[in-house]
């Protein structure tokens, strides 16, 4: 079994794991700041950009992620949609999918988990009617054969890889680098295979962004592409 956190516009690896099957999304784990749970990375003309869902009481440790409430006092929905339109309106499949995504930046959800899960369900449908993983309301104890992708340490490893790539002029996680699961994890390894990116004429390929970067670029081919990212 692969154990995943909830994710806001989850990464290419996140969806590659779901498409591989055998996944459970843990709603009973404690919320982790600065993670995919409320943060997504997109690609703009100026390089990678993080989009963060604003939360109430985000600095209080020990809160189950299912109980995290969204804060609408700072108009983050408007800012996120403006950023997505600015970054991707010229991409091949933006017009094809924008109408289905835009309502998520108008409708208000009380809880982060509900928002993330409904958005994930939409993205899975756009990737080829892929079924949602199992949901666990209580914390899932990982067994010896489980691939646990919830921990902060692994997500920090991925963020460090992205920062290292940017510092080396590579613009992020290069092809062949692992995502938030380390190379020593159980199961197949994630490989950030390159695909067409809108700003490839001015910057190198940036791996493991939000899956919408792939979806806007590859359209119906995004699902089969994801299935080739685990080796």
* Residues 41-68: tens digit of each pLDDT: 999 999 999 999 999 987 777 889 999 9
User: Got the DSSP string for 41-94?
Assistant: EEEETTEEEEEE--BTTTT-TT-BGGGPBBP-TT-HHHHHHHHHHHHHTTSTTH
Q: Tell me what pLDDT residue 177 has.
A: 34
Looking from the CA of 18 toward its CB, the CA atoms found within 13 Å total: 28
Whether residue 68 contacts residue 178, with contact meaning beta carbons closer than 8 Å, is answered with: no
Q: Are 16 and 190 in contact (CB under 8 A)?
A: yes
Taking the chain (231 residues) in consecutive chunks of 10 residues, what is each chunk's mean pLDDT?
A: 96 96 94 92 95 88 90 96 97 97 97 98 96 94 90 53 44 39 64 91 93 96 94 85
Residue 151, token pair as written in the block: 């921990």
């Amino acid at each position: 079994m692969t154990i995943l956190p909830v994710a806001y516009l989850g990464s290419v690896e996140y969806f590659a794991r779901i498409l591989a099957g055998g996944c459970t999304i843990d709603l009973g784990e404690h919320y982790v700041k600065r993670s995919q749970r409320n943060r997504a990375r997109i690609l703009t003309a100026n390089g990678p950009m993080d989009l963060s869902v604003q939360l109430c009481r985000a600095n209080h440790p020990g809160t189950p992620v299912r109980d995290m409430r969204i804060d609408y006092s700072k108009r983050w929905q408007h800012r996120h949609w403006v950023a997505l339109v600015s970054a991707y309106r010229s991409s091949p499949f933006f017009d094809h999918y924008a109408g289905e995504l835009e309502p998520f930046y108008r409708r208000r959800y009380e809880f982060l988990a509900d928002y993330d899960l409904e958005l994930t369900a939409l993205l899975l449908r756009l990737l080829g009617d892929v079924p949602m993983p199992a949901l666990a309301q209580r914390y899932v104890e990982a067994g010896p054969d489980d691939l646990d992708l919830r921990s902060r340490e692994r997500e920090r490893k991925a963020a460090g890889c992205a920062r290292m790539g940017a510092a080396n002029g590579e613009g992020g996680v290069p092809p062949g680098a692992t995502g938030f699961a380390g190379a020593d994890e159980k199961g197949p390894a994630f490989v950030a295979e390159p695909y067409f990116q809108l700003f490839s004429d001015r910057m190198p390929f940036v791996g493991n962004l939000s899956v919408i970067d792939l979806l806007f670029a590859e359209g119906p081919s995004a699902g089969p592409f994801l299935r080739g990212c685990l080796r």
